[in-house]
Amino acid sequence: MQEARTPAEQEHAKADITISIPRFLEGGNIKFDPAALDKCKDFFEKLSKLTKEASDNAKKTFCRTRPSKLTGNTLNPLQNTDELKNSPSYPSGHTIYGTLMGMVLARMLPEKRDELYARITDYGHSRMIAGVHYRSDIDAGKVLGSAIAADEFAADEDFKNHLPGAMACVREALGLQGQGPAQQSSTPQP
């Protein structure tokens, strides 16, 4: 991947080092009003904390060395490895975040579901392009992010209580009216 990555892929992967809803949407070419989206940040910050907690716990359990830190590797990571010095590779925290946020956004924006699921895949792929994760790190991040999303939708009453307001906020930030097309009873897996 590193040898085949294009300058455009490199720039995209560098931009994806940023973990945020605005970057997630930007990277998927989904237009939004930043000021309007900022009104929703508390809802997404709580979810972000869940991903950080889950990622940190899993990384401490598995302690997998990042590919760029293996002896004899020839990788040229796009992310400053000093930022990652004590962060194991498995699972990908970025992918956990992208999967959870993408699934929540897909529930809020059913008319954008395909773009959001494509972005989930793309967000994780950027971590491999950047040379800081293995494919299995990305796969594990998708599983963990999906599990957190399922738990939030099924069991977190605070999340469920705040979801309608956050949905209205996000839809407004994207310039979409109402609740969107009729939603399916379950969100498909990315």
- Nearest C-alpha neighbor of 93 from the set 38, 130, 118, 42: 130
Annotated active-site residue in 66, 107, 113, 127: 127
Annotated active-site residue in 66, 113, 133, 171: 133
Residue 84, pLDDT > 70, answer no
Annotated active-site residue in 119, 122, 125, 137: 137
Residue 174, pLDDT > 70, answer yes
Sign of CA dihedral 108, 55, 41, 129: negative
Which CATH fold would you assign to the domain 7-173?
A: Vanadium-containing Chloroperoxidase; domain 1 (1.20.144)
Residue 25, pLDDT > 80, answer yes
Q: Is 158 exposed, middle or buried (0-12, 13-18, 19+ CB in 10 A)?
A: exposed
Whole-number pLDDT of residue 157: 95
* 89 vs 128: CA distance, rounded Å: 11
* 89 vs 94: CA distance, rounded Å: 11
Whole-number pLDDT of residue 83: 65
Active site residue 162: no
Reported in sequence order, the residue ranges of 26-146 that DSSP labels E, i.e. its strands, are none
Annotated active-site residue in 94, 107, 119, 125: 94
Active site residue 125: no
Query: Residue for token digits 């989904």?
Result: 30
Q: For the chain, which residues make up each domain, given as ranges?
A: 7-173
**Mean pLDDT across the chain, nearest whole number?**
89
Active site residue 12: no
pLDDT interval class at 187 (50, 70, 90): very low
Model confidence over 114-167: pLDDT tens digits? 999 999 999 999 999 988 888 999 999 999 999 999 999 999 999 999 999 999
